[in-house]
Structure formats: structure tokens, C-alpha cells
Structure 1
Amino acid sequence: MLTTLVSVDTLAAHLQDPRWLIVDCRFDLAQPAAGEAAYRAGHIPGAVYAHLDRDLSSPITPTSGRHPLPHPEHFAATASRWGITPETQVIAYDADNGMYAARLWWLLRWVGHRAVAVLDGGLKAWTAAALPTSTAIPVRQPSHFQAHPNRDLWLDAEQVQARVRQPDWRLLDARAPERFSGKVEPLDTVAGHVPGARNHPFATNLASDGRFGAPEELRRRYEQSQAGVADDHTIVMCGSGVTACHLLLAMEVAGKPGARLYAGSWSEWIRDPRRGVATTD
């Protein structure tokens, strides 16, 4: 069972394995239809498509962030449509860095399916290895997926607010430094970060070739950001709870499980003006 990353060579060797399911998670926040269009133009053979807004999130509400967690029953229906059973090995991929694939990786673990891994390097690594793509849309045999959501894996805004100022807790923000500092904000209505959070950009999880860094290097980076705080007292966030999952995946690769997701993240935090906002020079 693969539970973190999978190489293109390993995936290529299992293309015909009916026990494996490949899910294309490509997406573009600026053009929500672009990922699905790219999928239809060519994808890894046998892959189904997961739309971030439609399949991996719930509708936005007046108090939510931009990508609320999907309702467990609705997500179970999606997994059933894809034919996921307890024996299915799921492989998620996106264009290259894994930022969207990691969302599906975390969601499946949240509802109790641990046999899920992210293709290291994504479609870019796959095509660079001269491996085939297809335009055929697969027809999967539906299943009866049962979701068993683990509420302990994520925190809401009130829980984060109660913990972020405590010295034995650490909140890591996966956004780029310029967004964390409040210098730019291309997506949300307020710039800045949660007071007490530390910046740990998700891009630092990646090597120069776009694949995840070595486990020992990832471990060193997280230990530096955590500054002695335990993994199970570490919370990760981003703009809407998507890229933060990349941090959780990297921590698993580094042998540091147990951190939790602030599911609503910055776009939820700023919905309530009573919550603090910090900026840095």
C-alpha cells in the first residue's frame, strides 16, 4: 500500500492494474474550467477527473473560506462514482507540484481511506519520461464507498484561535512570503496572516525538478519552523485549505505525522472582522 508518494515508473508498471485508480486533479484558481479542459485534451491513461470546486469542496457560504471541506456523504458519493473500494490504491496527480493532488490525498485519509499517494512530479514528470497519455474517458464500475470522517484531523477557526498563542502549539502558513506578509493579496479581500502564525511556503517542499525534497531535508526544514513544537501540536493553513495539504503530505514523507489542517484557512479567518490580522515588513 502506497500512502505518500509514487514515482512515474511505479505508476507506469500498474497502468493495467484494476485495483489502482488514477485521479487527475489539475486545476487553475484563475480559470476554474481549465483543469478539466486540459484533462479532456490528454491525461494519464485510465485517469478520472476531480474538479476542486465541484468534487473536492462544498459550496461557499457567508462564513466559510473559498474551499470548504466537502460534506462526507457527498464526497463518499464521488468516491463511489469513481469505484473506490477498501482495496483500491488511489493515485492523485496534477500538472506538476502536487498542490491540488495533495487535497485529494488528505480528503481520502480524512474519510478513512489510507491507500492513496501523490504522483511525484505530476503530469510534467510523466510526460518527461515519454510515457503515454490518452483522451479516452474511462467508465468505472461504481462502488459503495463508506466515509468515516476523522474530526480530529482538522480544526475550525475557534480552535485555531484558542491554540495559536499557546507556546506548545505552532501554526504554519503555506502561502508564499509576499502573501503571508500582506504585501500582495491576489485572491482574498484582506491581506496578511493569522497573528502568531509562521510562514512555511509549500514551495520549500520541492526540489529544483519539481519533485518532493529528500525526507531528511524536509524533516530539517519542518523542525526549524516548528521550533521544538510536537507534530501533533502543529497546525497547517494556507489561503483556503488546499495548499496546506501539501505541507501535511511533506511532513508524512519526512516521517512527521500527526499535524492538523486548519480547514477554512485565511479566506475563512478574515470573514469575521473580530479575528486579528497581522502583517510584516
Structure 2
Amino acid sequence: MYTLLIRAAELRQLQASGAPLLVFDCSFDLADPARADALYAEQHIAGAVQAHLDRDLCAHDAAEAVNGGRHPLPRRELFARTLRRLGLDNAMQAVVYDRNGVNFCGRLWWMLKWAGHEAVAVLDGGLQAWVAAGGAVEQGPARVRPAGDFQLGPELRRWVATADVAAHLGQPGQTVIDARAAERYRGEVEPLDPVAGHIPGALNRPFDSNLGVDGCFKPPAQLRAEFDALLAGRDPAGVVHHCGSGVSTMPNVIAMELAGYAPTAVYAGSWSEWCRTPGLPCARS
């Protein structure tokens, strides 16, 4: 079972073994969501299904959502229905990837854990690493697969609401880590949300800080040293991760687990919900 990362060579071996497997292509473009379909059609891992951020990994209205923000999580039972439609069985090893530096496939990795599916791993280096390793690819639009039998299990990862973060703001038991780019964190620019800035007291670690020049995650020891330096003695058990909308925070979540920390919490609504909530403080620096 692969539960964090899988290398291209390991995925090829898994494919050849005939083990129950489902690969998800999560490639996306926030500036042009419709382009996700074109990216998948241009090239994807042979046999991979498409998991579209807006269609498959987000709630479509307030009645379906468990939180606010630009990319709200759907209720777990609705997500389970999506997984069955995409062809997932509980017995399958799931592998997720994108071509965007884990910016989007990490969302599905976390959501599968949240749905109780432990056997899910991120393809380290994404589609680029797969192609470089000579992995088989194909073209064409997404095809309908036979429905899966997926059923929800215990929640293996935890999210927190705006009220939870606000209630513990400034307390030593909570450390908020913001995965957005430094200029967005400082409030110098804000291309997506109505208010610029960050949650007071939040630490900044841009999500792409976790990858090396080859597009793969840095070694666990290096990640550990970097997070230790960022936390500066703060209790890692109190870490709450966020970004703009609960999507690009996931590389930080994964990196902390690779570094040997226990699973940490995600603020699902993130800055897009925080900055729209009346009365909550916003900082700039």
C-alpha cells in the first residue's frame, strides 16, 4: 500500500502487477477552469481518469458544502457518490497526479483520506516525471468507467472551520501556516479574493517550497529541518494549514507528513472564507 508518495517506476511496477489500481489526473488551471479538459485530452497517463477540481472535488452550492470559501468541500456522502461514479472501489490503490506541482492533486489525496481511503499516494514529480520515465500516455477526452463500490470509512484527516480558527487565534495551541505566495501573504497583491493580507499571527510557507528543481518533493530530512525552523519550537500538533481556498495548502500538509510529523489539520475555508467573514481581523506585513 502506498499512502504518501509513489515514484514513476513504482507506479509502472504496480500497473504491471495487475493489482487493483485507479489513477486520477487532477491537472487544472485556476485562471481558466475549462482548460482542465483540454489538458487531460492532450496527454494523460494511460488508463487515468479525470478528477476535475470544480466538478468533482468541490461543492456546487451551499446545501452541498460543509464550509464556505471559493472551493468548498462537498459533504462526505456526496463525495463518495462522485468516487463511485469515477470508478473507485475500496480495495483499489489510488494514485493522484497533476502537471502543476501538486497544486491540485494534493486536494484529492487529502479528500480521499478524509473519506476513509488510506491507500492513496501522490505521483512524485507528476506527469512530467512519468513522461521522463517512459511511462505510457494517451490522448482523448475522459471516458465513462464502470461504477465503483466505494463506501465511506472513518475520517483519516481533519479539517477545521472558521469559528475554530478564530476561537484559538493567538493561543499557543494553534499555529496557522499560510501556503500562499509571499506577496499575497504580505498583502501586496490579491488576485482572487476581496481583501488582501493574512490571518494575524500566521506563518508563511509557500506551497512550492516543498519541491526541488526536479519537481519532486525534497528529501524528508530537508523538509524536517525547514519545518522545524519555521515552527521555531511551536508544537507541530497544533498546526492548521490554509491557503486561498483550501487547495494549494495540501503540498505543505503532505510535506509535513513526509518529514515525519503526525497528520495536521486543514482550515478548509482558508483565506477566501476568512476575509469574507464580518468582524475577523486581517493583517498585512
TM range (shorter): over 0.9
Alpha-carbon distance between aligned partners in 2 of 1:60 and 1:226, rounded to the nearest angstrom: 36
Q: Is the 8 A contact 2:110 2:157 kept in 1?
A: no
Question: Residue 28 of structure 2 aligns with which residue?
Answer: 27
Q: Is the 8 A contact 1:7 1:120 kept in 2?
A: yes
Alpha-carbon distance between aligned partners in 2 of 1:227 and 1:3, rounded to the nearest angstrom: 28
Q: CA deviation at 1:141?
A: 2.8
Q: Does the alignment pair 1:159 with 2:159?
A: no
Q: Which stretch of structure 1 is more off in the superposition, 148-157 or 225-234? A: 148-157
Question: Residue 5 of structure 1 aligns with which residue?
Answer: 5
Q: CA deviation at 1:221?
A: 1.1
Alpha-carbon distance between aligned partners in 2 of 1:60 and 1:235, rounded to the nearest angstrom: 25
Question: Residue 118 of structure 2 aligns with which residue?
Answer: 114
SS of equivalent residue, structure 1 residue 192? coil
| Deviation readout 1:74-98 (Å, 9 max, x if unpaired) | 1101111222222210000000411
Alpha-carbon distance between aligned partners in 1 of 2:211 and 2:172, rounded to the nearest angstrom: 29
Question: Residue 81 of structure 1 aligns with which residue?
Answer: 85
| Counterpart AA for 1:21 | L
Moved over 4 A (4+): 60-63, 136-139
Q: Is the 8 A contact 1:25 1:49 kept in 2?
A: yes
Question: Residue 70 of structure 1 aligns with which residue?
Answer: 74
Q: Which stretch of structure 1 is more off in the superposition, 220-229 or 45-54? A: 220-229
SS of equivalent residue, structure 1 residue 53? helix
Alpha-carbon distance between aligned partners in 2 of 1:120 and 1:254, rounded to the nearest angstrom: 15
SS of equivalent residue, structure 2 residue 54? coil
Q: CA deviation at 1:18?
A: 5.0
Question: Residue 205 of structure 2 aligns with which residue?
Answer: 200
Q: Does the alignment pair 1:131 with 2:132?
A: no
Q: 1:94 aligns with which of 91, 98, 106?
A: 98
Alpha-carbon distance between aligned partners in 2 of 1:151 and 1:10, rounded to the nearest angstrom: 24
What's the C-alpha RMSD, in Å, of the aligned pairs? 1.8
| Deviation readout 1:251-280 (Å, 9 max, x if unpaired) | 111111221000000000011131100000
Q: Is the 8 A contact 1:96 1:121 kept in 2?
A: no
| Counterpart AA for 2:8 | V
Question: Residue 186 of structure 1 aligns with which residue?
Answer: 191
Q: Does the alignment pair 1:37 with 2:1?
A: no
Q: CA deviation at 1:180?
A: 0.1
| Counterpart AA for 2:170 | R
Q: 1:262 aligns with which of 259, 264, 267?
A: 267
Q: Is the 8 A contact 1:19 1:87 kept in 2?
A: yes
Question: Residue 221 of structure 1 aligns with which residue?
Answer: 226
Q: TM-score, normalised by structure 2?
A: 0.93
| Counterpart AA for 2:3 | T
Q: Does the alignment pair 1:173 with 2:173?
A: no
Q: Is the 8 A contact 1:60 1:66 kept in 2?
A: no
Alpha-carbon distance between aligned partners in 1 of 2:217 and 2:169, rounded to the nearest angstrom: 28
Q: Is the 8 A contact 2:118 2:156 kept in 1?
A: no
Q: Which stretch of structure 1 is more off in the superposition, 48-57 or 7-16? A: 7-16
Q: TM-score, normalised by structure 1?
A: 0.94
Question: Residue 150 of structure 2 aligns with which residue?
Answer: 145
Alpha-carbon distance between aligned partners in 1 of 2:36 and 2:72, rounded to the nearest angstrom: 19
Q: Is the 8 A contact 2:29 2:35 kept in 1?
A: yes
Q: Which stretch of structure 1 is more off in the superposition, 51-60 or 175-184? A: 51-60
Change (3 A) 1:107 1:213: same
The percentage of counterpart residues that share the same residue type is 45
Q: Does the alignment pair 1:279 with 2:284?
A: yes
Q: Which stretch of structure 1 is more off in the superposition, 67-76 or 259-268? A: 67-76
Alpha-carbon distance between aligned partners in 2 of 1:41 and 1:276, rounded to the nearest angstrom: 44
Q: Is there any run of 5+ residues in structure 1 with no aligned partner, and where? A: none
Q: Aligned residue pairs: how many?
A: 280
Question: Residue 252 of structure 1 aligns with which residue?
Answer: 257
Q: CA deviation at 1:139?
A: 4.7
Question: Residue 240 of structure 2 aligns with which residue?
Answer: 235
Q: Is the 8 A contact 2:90 2:151 kept in 1?
A: no
Alpha-carbon distance between aligned partners in 1 of 2:104 and 2:154, rounded to the nearest angstrom: 20
Q: CA deviation at 1:44?
A: 0.2
| Counterpart AA for 2:24 | V
Alpha-carbon distance between aligned partners in 2 of 1:81 and 1:257, rounded to the nearest angstrom: 32
Question: Residue 50 of structure 2 aligns with which residue?
Answer: 49
